[in-house]
Amino acid sequence: MSRTKTGCQTCRCRRIKCDEGKPVCLQCIKAERECRQGSDRKKPDLVFHTENMYASGNIKRPRGPRGSLTLQRPGADRLSQARAFYINFYLDGLSEAPVTTSSMLEGLTEWISARRESAMVDRAVSAVALAVFSGTQHSPSAAKEATKIYGDLLHLVQAEIMNRDLGLCSGQMVDSSLLTIVLMATYENIMHRPADEESDHSLGTLHSWSHHLGALAVLQSWYENSRVHITPSTIVKYSRRGIMRRALLMGSALPLWLRDGSDFGESGVDLVFDGILFRLVNLRHRLDSVLRHAHGIHPVDADVLANEAAELDAACQQWENSIPQCWLPRTQDSSPCRRNPEHGIFPPLVSTYTEPSYATVWLEYLTIKILLKSTMIQISKIRQVTARAENMEETMQREGLVESCTRIIPFILGRMSLDDREKLEQPPGTAPDSTRPSLIISTGWPLTVLSYHQGIDAEHKAWFRSRLVRIGGILGDGSLKCAGHGGWAHNVV
């Protein structure tokens, strides 16, 4: 190729060295551009001086480094941010949990995945998402918006549920009603702020309790009118579980129509665990009624209670022997954790699991065993026929179960890892990266029981409450934080 004294106009505009090839230079061939030679340019000044205002010489280029470009992205509204935050952090990973500890949030996950639609459920999810966002991200404006949506939801629920015969409703309506009511209870717990934190108040003062009574009414209507021709859904099954756990926490009795878990979709090891929980709730309620009775208890009735407690103890052992091996814990040294005074008391060994969700299963199981052992000790005191050595053995077993519960909490909170055995260093009051809200939601119920059970010593209860405050902070749950700070006036279980 022949060369000229000057390069092509295109290369000069691009400010690169031109090989001056004719008729087309190599640079323009590579860049697939039109090669404009100097001879055919019409107004070269326009090409140079219109590049920008500094190149034209009209304005002096500023001294110092050039500022970086700021990308302008369209801002998402607060509700969209809150819903995305809630779904990604609170619902993601729920399918990994064993069915035994699954909660209504698993039902919500299935609802969203199936793209089912309901105006009530949509508003309930929005209210809960904004409430969680306000509690975890410290956004007062999100709390105000959540309150407004929740107020609209109350009017909608009154029109859709309270003024309708649920016995004639479809499975879709039953599911949407149960899911909405449980989400409303969740909203009340998240937004719980006692008027006077120094005053005594009980668990029964939570506004969420009335919503659980509403869920019980809807579930009873489904049981009496629809269970024969409508297969129990995941939402129906998890609604019953939540009612049973709240009844145990409150010390109330369960109706007999809730007894058979298979009517509500339970099966396998979950059905056995479910049966143990139902019997324990009613056993403790009967024992509490006996202890409040002024004339004492008949010896025959005391023997009946003792036999039922012994049967439950055997059923617990049988369930423990039947669970998969992968659910079982391992033990490892907890010395890295004990060096941190922020943790308070700490067991010499910590339980670790192949999956964080298995730790939640064991925490619930051990909590039920602790309540059962306390029930057996109380029955023995009433009967006054059990040897002192046997009572001491039951007490020591209960203390061992409490110690086992303390071993589980560090793993649930991400303090201990199964692989590297090192504590995850995080500032006090912050959640480790491995602590996903979806994996610790189910720990609120057993920790509340452990924090206020009268059979546990004060030192351990204080430690459980400190963990409850931490979990309440991660989840943005006002009721858990209140309970963790000793907000309840007395032992609730």
DSSP per-residue codes, 214-281 = HHHHHHHHHHHHTTTTSPPPHHHHHHHHHHHHHHHHHT----GGG--GGGGT--HHHHHHHHHHHHHH
**Which two tokens mark 117?**
């639609």
Q: How far apart are CA 397 and CA 275, in angstroms?
A: 23
**Which two tokens mark 404?**
């086992």
At residue 9, the pLDDT reads 86
Which is it for the CA torsion 139, 185, 285, 107, positive or negative?
negative
Residue from 371, 372, 365 nearest 351 by CA: 365
At residue 14, the pLDDT reads 87
Q: How far apart are CA 373 and CA 365, in angstroms?
A: 12
At residue 427, the pLDDT reads 37
**Cα–Cα distances in Å, from 212 out to 58, 206, 302, 428, 434?**
74, 11, 32, 34, 32
- Assign residue 213 a region (left: φ > 0; alpha: ψ between -120 and 50; beta: otherwise): alpha
Per-residue pLDDT of the chain (493 residues; tens, 9 = 90+): 444 557 888 888 888 988 887 777 888 878 878 888 765 544 444 444 455 676 667 777 777 766 655 555 555 688 998 999 898 888 876 555 555 556 778 888 889 888 899 999 999 999 999 999 998 888 899 999 999 999 999 999 988 877 666 655 677 888 999 999 999 999 998 998 765 444 445 555 567 777 888 899 999 989 988 888 888 899 999 999 999 998 998 888 999 999 999 999 998 888 999 999 999 999 999 998 887 775 666 666 778 898 999 999 999 999 999 988 888 888 776 665 554 544 445 567 788 888 878 888 899 999 999 999 999 988 888 777 655 666 778 888 898 899 889 888 888 887 555 444 444 334 333 344 446 787 788 888 999 899 888 889 888 888 898 888 888 888 888 888 877 666 554 455 5
At residue 346, the pLDDT reads 59
Are 368 and 276 spatial neighbours (Cβ–Cβ below 8 Å)? yes
Q: How far apart are CA 370 and CA 395, in angstroms?
A: 10
Q: Helix (H, G, I), strand (E, B), or coil: what is residue 365?
A: helix
